[in-house]
Structure 1
């Protein structure tokens, strides 16, 4: 029995290196489960994987994809708490396929309130945002949060979760269309970095005080302006560097404002067997059940994954792109 998967045949742009292949349906080993994939969230790490620039660098040929929703079709030995027929969301490199095998510890119950496409976008971005804002920054109601790339994958999740926590959200975007999405998700103030000065606008909107928390998955010039807009005892969350330039953190800036620079690498908690991802997912389920949080996604066919990833890599996408597997739409 075979199924289809998108396979990177070398390193390069997704549209150049991804090929749709037929492969044997994988069997789960001890501690693993197999799922019939219904939807796959497309993330910037997928682009980096294809380019060979992600922190994990599998040798080609390999299957990218780090986040999906589907139904359990088989369980390996020593698996508890997950059964055949369960609808789950999960994360593991290699899920850009119709059938995928994941460690049982990296899957979570799919919220019944969400479609497959919406649920597929829940794990990586939303858990990263929750861990950054709550576990790492200890966000408090009434604080101001500055989110760069506020209409991107993890940035849009951070906007929703910060607003849900009672924070005032200032979102930085790259276009008017992305600004509209950031506002819908809960940003009270939107700054278009293509036409506005980030530092000046933040100071204007906060009476000169600055942002208590900066959530930055971008790096580069956007981060350079955002870090200067941080308030006294503010927390700089270093989430990623999608812009290509890694954040530079001058120690004197940390000193003169008592600022904390905090790394947010959510995947390490899974690797270390921490309970933080379970706590994050439980909190997200409550917010979803209450109708406070819901991923806003744009669906694309499974056959259009390479083109969609190219748009994502070029910064031309708005919100979350999710590939829906043929015949598995819910």
Structure 2
């Protein structure tokens, strides 16, 4: 068999423009791997990319999807991995397909004990949470952290990691159900931002001191209000802008608290050693029950557009995962 099914984004932008097509199975190049995809995870950046609103703009038509798990079936020249190896990986695009090309240096080797539908959550969501809390900030036991969008993929990963570190965890989410989930995963206080004054509640809970670290993947007004919740020398970690609004941060808010705003960004070309270490740490954390991905994996390959709509409309918790290969 030399053909595969894949989802493509062509001239018609957005989710409605996706089409399932049949294409030749690609061949791996130098230090590349051909992976039979068993599961692909969704990220908000997928929606931005197919809408031509992301910083990476692949030539059209292209196959979206940036997080895959599966089995290596062919290796390119110079690869250090073997056929048959179970892996999870971030890729630039191309994941929503039966087969995908993966860079050798982006791979997280996965043991048999981790199902593909859970392994696929490690390369982006958990990695981002680890980079944010342990590398961009240096969250320690006894510190306090506020995690926005705490029932999302990165948010829940951050809650679990912060719980393991021993921090006091405050969380916001958009429904009572999502708040309960965040608390079940380790948040000390979860606040429904749609119906409660979360800023006042955070300040009350910290006796007016604010929190040491804020993880913000939302942007917009949430970022501006978050500045008022920072402690002296606090750190605002900017992960993304799921609200669609990029805020203009008033510098005097940072100055008056000797606080800082830091971008959480990583890539394998610049951060290879750090990411290799984090990949190994995440596998160990999974095997020791420190982390357990919260996911919705009832979607089949044909259900990708609906899964993207659910993510776009916030009709989901945790990571959304599409099962591709059985």
Please, what TM-score do these two structures have when normalized by structure 1?
Answer: 0.95
State the distance in 2 between where 1:75 and 1:228 align. Answer: 51
Q: CA deviation at 1:121?
A: 1.0
State the distance in 1 between where 2:225 and 2:306 align. Answer: 32
Q: Where does residue 90 of structure 2 map in the other structure?
A: 91
State the distance in 1 between where 2:227 and 2:12 align. Answer: 33
State the distance in 2 between where 1:8 and 1:271 align. Answer: 26
| Residues 65 and 225 of structure 1, relative CA distance in 2, 3 Å threshold | same
Q: Where does residue 281 of structure 1 map in the other structure?
A: 279
* SS of match in other structure, 1:154: helix
Q: CA deviation at 1:320?
A: 1.0
Q: Deviations over 1:49-99 (max 9, x none)?
A: 11111110113211000001000000000111x110000000111111110
How large is the RMSD of aligned CA atoms in angstroms? 1.2
Matching of residue 5 in structure 1 with residue 25 in structure 2 = no
Gaps of 5+ in 1: none
Q: Where does residue 163 of structure 2 map in the other structure?
A: 163
Q: Deviations over 1:282-308 (max 9, x none)?
A: 221221121110111111111100111
More deviation in 169-178 or 272-281? Answer: 272-281
Q: Deviations over 1:200-257 (max 9, x none)?
A: 0100111111110000111011222122101111111011001101132211111110
Q: Where does residue 46 of structure 2 map in the other structure?
A: 46
Q: Is the 8 A contact 1:198 1:225 kept in 2?
A: no
State the distance in 2 between where 1:231 and 1:288 align. Answer: 32
Q: Number of residue pairs matched?
A: 323
Q: Where does residue 317 of structure 1 map in the other structure?
A: 316
State the distance in 2 between where 1:224 and 1:10 align. Answer: 36
The equivalent position to 2:292 in structure 1, one of 272, 285, 294, is 294
State the distance in 2 between where 1:54 and 1:272 align. Answer: 20
| Residues 163 and 149 of structure 1, relative CA distance in 2, 3 Å threshold | same
Q: CA deviation at 1:273?
A: 5.1
Q: Moved runs in structure 1, 4+ residues, more than 4 A?
A: none
State the distance in 2 between where 1:279 and 1:248 align. Answer: 34
Please, what TM-score do these two structures have when normalized by structure 2?
Answer: 0.96
Q: Where does residue 133 of structure 2 map in the other structure?
A: 133
Query: What does residue range 102-181 of structure 1 map to in structure 2 within 5 Å?
Result: 102-181=102-181
Q: CA deviation at 1:11?
A: 4.9
Q: Where does residue 30 of structure 1 map in the other structure?
A: 30
